[in-house]
Structure 1
């Protein structure tokens, strides 16, 4: 419920602070006193867009703040989703800066306008004659029927399953598109993969093959160089080993004369041993080298295959070719698995569709049972509101289509006159009749679901006498389970309120200001008497006002 409202620097309002109670609150005031300004300020709290013209003094910011008790509204999940601190007493503040920028806060945390609108819809329902057009909308008509049918849980289950159904259907469409595209590439990918498999790729093989190729391709030249090197080391006349052997012999004689030649002798001897070993290895290498044209051709062919594959796939080495091979293998495997995945999704889709069909039939049957109750209650309430011949013809048709709220098509027809034709509401009912129908529906809904605070904005226009009295009684009845506001010009309705507020204008230092005050019992008598007989109150008007209040 709305506990308090504070407005600063908005339109004709300089500074307004008012507290509200539960039950039925009446708001009255002369035409032009500023009731629409009050509603405009409240609409900003509910997420309406603002502009700079809203500021009374465009050098100061406008602040509108409302305190709500939301303990019975089941809004914790909304606060969690929006990352807001949940408080049973929640404060919504809206600021409009002189720059034209607007900001919204919930419990001092910033909130965007879209989210504020979603929150506002669950806190206050501002109901005017214009808003009565909601009742001609199929979605709203379903909402009314489902409230009486007790379909809340079934609709929640249906919505969840429908979301899953659409997700599976979307995934299936993606898989089918992938299959269509994959089939075009499958043969080519399989061919490329086969080439890579047949190449028997081994990491590091390229370098080894290139080295072996260079050896076999230059075997004669290598043998010649090895033979020449062997001769340089081992020639009996001029070979390095022969020379070093003579050098060793010379130093062996020198060390007998002095130990200072020992180190050089050791180094010469070590070099002689190393070179003799080198000569042996050269001899071994020479013996191992044999021309092998068959092996050379095999290596050349393999190298051509590898280089062609690297060129084809635009890679630099075998490691990158192996990555390409893995990728192609996945594509080929995935293509092969697509049929299985598509079949699995089709089975899931069929299962979900059967479940949705079952839930939608439950929803349909509940609606069918609720429609006579809705029809009887509506016609009974409207009879008391001066529409004795009002009749409804409400029909459901189960369709094969999965709609957002089941599989029903709704026909909600109305006739205001006995013997009249049943037509769509928007064609059969006048503005005043729509207002009374909407009031009757709100009364019914208040008995089945938790409604937000409702504010009736002059829906009694064009109504008087006993009908206005009945309207007031309906509003009073609704206020037993919810907070109700009624902006009215009718004394019969004004007298029903538990609280009564008056909106008025006054001039302060030559500037017109709108204000609002809560009336006590005596002030209510005066206000209602003026509503009955004008500013020149007669004793009969005052007596009538007292009678209405009693």
Structure 2
């Protein structure tokens, strides 16, 4: 629950430090005194938008801090643990706003983003404003009220995550479908190109082999003649072949060696040279024996080389890169085949995810229908107490599989009949302003009892209500205050008198500056304030007596 609120230089508040108790706290004050200013300041701690105008004129910054007890708020404790923030039995939310409009937010002294303090604040306080009954005319707000009453948080999270998964897969499918036409055209081209290259069946490194062999055969005659010339020079020239000349040189060197042993190395080198010459001659003879100048094979080779060059020009790649290009086209074709498989798989996943979503949405819808009937009875009973004895309230929940949303497939309508014999109709068409206020208040009080938020604020929700009806409203809020901390800003004495405690808001001018203060009233002060609410500025003995009676009852 909210234990303390400190306000510094906020709007027309210079400084306020307020301590709060459990139960129902009534907040009253003269018109224009700023009865809602503490609630506005608290709203800043809960993440509401702030601007420079909220800073008291002449001040550098405004600061608001709120201290909460977390004894009976396990969800808030778990949230602090999940977000690695300091956990204790108490928690302090703080917000500062500079005169230039910049603001900072803190949880237990730790700076946090505004979105984070907003999320956390929802676990601590629920605020019901004076215009909440107008929001009740909107279908989406009606749905929120029903889901709050039924505590559908987990069911809604399941439906929402199922919806997001469905939309994500649909998006992937749409992207694939949008490129389907291009993919089909590309696949047809690839199939033609790959079939042509498959038919040619070029092997890795084959171009280099063909090119080398073609070059050899194209120069076959010159090769044969050159090899024969080499053999003639090396060993067949009668007038002095290289081999005969070296033999003669060896003979002479051996004679010289006999005169000087130091020339033995020359003999050895000449012998080595002779061996090299003989081996060269043998290699050339062996090459000539193997060399086949088959015109038919050469023609086949030339045709394949010609086809290879033609294909490389057609595919705009170098001949040596044609094999790699073929492999790349094959890989791309396989990838397109894989995309088609993915398309079929995604279509199946979309159907499966939609079926899963509908299962969860139907489960949510069934629960809504069950709690709608329960809420029908409670709201009908409530409006009977609020001076609509013949009124009847009904919630229709319609499931539509085509109405897919993160909140399910339901359309909802609050219906009411205010007079006997009158059929149930949409609340926006039937209820008057006063009736709408009473119905809205009844729903807010009933749903508040089911919500786990430890502190509830009702900001002038009793607008348009008076007399005996106001007394019923007061009793409703007091009963709610027995189990939940309740703050009620009101102008009705019948409501204010039901508070477990009472705070008074006053505006005064000091040294040319306007300030708002807020004080807790004792019993005698409460009687005077209730008398003021009953009789206005002139307080008589009768209004004082009525105020005492109101407070005692």
Match of 2:294 in 1: 292
Match of 1:97 in 2: 98
1:330 to 330, 334, 345: 334
Q: Larger deviation: 12-21 or 364-373?
A: 364-373
Secondary structure of 1:28's counterpart equals: strand
Whether contact under 8 Å (2:45, 2:66) holds in the other structure is yes
- The 1:146–1:10 alpha-carbon spacing in structure 2 relative to 1, beyond 3 Å, is closer
Rounded to whole Å, the distance in 2 between the matches of 1:377 and 1:156 is: 27
Whether contact under 8 Å (1:244, 1:272) holds in the other structure is yes
Match of 1:512 in 2: 514
- The 1:313–1:32 alpha-carbon spacing in structure 2 relative to 1, beyond 3 Å, is farther
Q: Larger deviation: 292-301 or 22-31?
A: 292-301
Match of 1:320 in 2: 324
Whether contact under 8 Å (1:204, 1:318) holds in the other structure is no
Match of 1:242 in 2: 244
Whether contact under 8 Å (1:84, 1:109) holds in the other structure is no
Rounded to whole Å, the distance in 1 between the matches of 2:390 and 2:26 is: 30
Deviation for aligned residue 1:346:
5.0
Whether contact under 8 Å (1:190, 1:328) holds in the other structure is no
Q: Larger deviation: 187-196 or 389-398?
A: 389-398
Deviation for aligned residue 1:189:
2.0
Q: Larger deviation: 222-231 or 472-481?
A: 222-231
1:213 aligns with 2:214: yes
Rounded to whole Å, the distance in 2 between the matches of 1:323 and 1:65 is: 69
Rounded to whole Å, the distance in 2 between the matches of 1:10 and 1:147 is: 32
Q: Larger deviation: 153-162 or 51-60?
A: 153-162
Equivalent residue runs for 1:30-109 within 5 Å: 30-57=30-57, 60-69=60-69, 72=73, 74=75, 85=85, 87=87, 89-109=90-110
Rounded to whole Å, the distance in 2 between the matches of 1:427 and 1:369 is: 25
Secondary structure of 1:100's counterpart equals: coil
Match of 2:13 in 1: 13
Deviation for aligned residue 1:418:
4.0
TM-score for both structures, normalised by structure 2: 0.85
Whether contact under 8 Å (1:85, 1:107) holds in the other structure is yes
Residues 95-141 of structure 1: CA distance to partner in whole angstroms, max 9, x if unpaired?
A: 32344333334445554445544444444332222222222122332
Rounded to whole Å, the distance in 2 between the matches of 1:46 and 1:361 is: 34
Q: Larger deviation: 297-306 or 452-461?
A: 297-306
Match of 2:496 in 1: 494
Match of 1:131 in 2: 132
Deviation for aligned residue 1:473:
1.2
Deviation for aligned residue 1:185:
3.3
Number of equivalenced pairs: 546
Equivalent residue runs for 1:467-506 within 5 Å: 467-506=469-508
Rounded to whole Å, the distance in 2 between the matches of 1:532 and 1:336 is: 79
- The 1:529–1:240 alpha-carbon spacing in structure 2 relative to 1, beyond 3 Å, is farther
Q: Larger deviation: 273-282 or 349-358?
A: 349-358
Residues 189-213 of structure 1: CA distance to partner in whole angstroms, max 9, x if unpaired?
A: 2112212322323332222222222
Match of 1:266 in 2: 268
Residues 188-242 of structure 1: CA distance to partner in whole angstroms, max 9, x if unpaired?
A: 2211221232232333222222222221222222333333333333334343333
- The 1:286–1:93 alpha-carbon spacing in structure 2 relative to 1, beyond 3 Å, is farther
Whether contact under 8 Å (2:33, 2:505) holds in the other structure is yes
Deviation for aligned residue 1:80:
8.1
Deviation for aligned residue 1:12:
1.8
Whether contact under 8 Å (1:23, 1:476) holds in the other structure is yes
Residues 241-286 of structure 1: CA distance to partner in whole angstroms, max 9, x if unpaired?
A: 3333333333222222223323333333323322332232223223
- The 1:237–1:156 alpha-carbon spacing in structure 2 relative to 1, beyond 3 Å, is same
Secondary structure of 1:265's counterpart equals: helix
- The 1:315–1:100 alpha-carbon spacing in structure 2 relative to 1, beyond 3 Å, is farther
Rounded to whole Å, the distance in 1 between the matches of 2:53 and 2:149 is: 44
Deviation for aligned residue 1:384:
1.7
- The 1:534–1:145 alpha-carbon spacing in structure 2 relative to 1, beyond 3 Å, is closer
Whether contact under 8 Å (2:397, 2:410) holds in the other structure is yes
Secondary structure of 1:243's counterpart equals: helix
Whether contact under 8 Å (2:162, 2:353) holds in the other structure is yes
- The 1:34–1:152 alpha-carbon spacing in structure 2 relative to 1, beyond 3 Å, is closer
Secondary structure of 2:15's counterpart equals: strand
Whether contact under 8 Å (2:36, 2:459) holds in the other structure is no
Structure 1, unaligned stretches of length 5 or more? none
Equivalent residue runs for 1:535-550 within 5 Å: 537-550=539-552
Whether contact under 8 Å (2:94, 2:105) holds in the other structure is yes
Rounded to whole Å, the distance in 2 between the matches of 1:455 and 1:491 is: 18
Secondary structure of 2:56's counterpart equals: coil
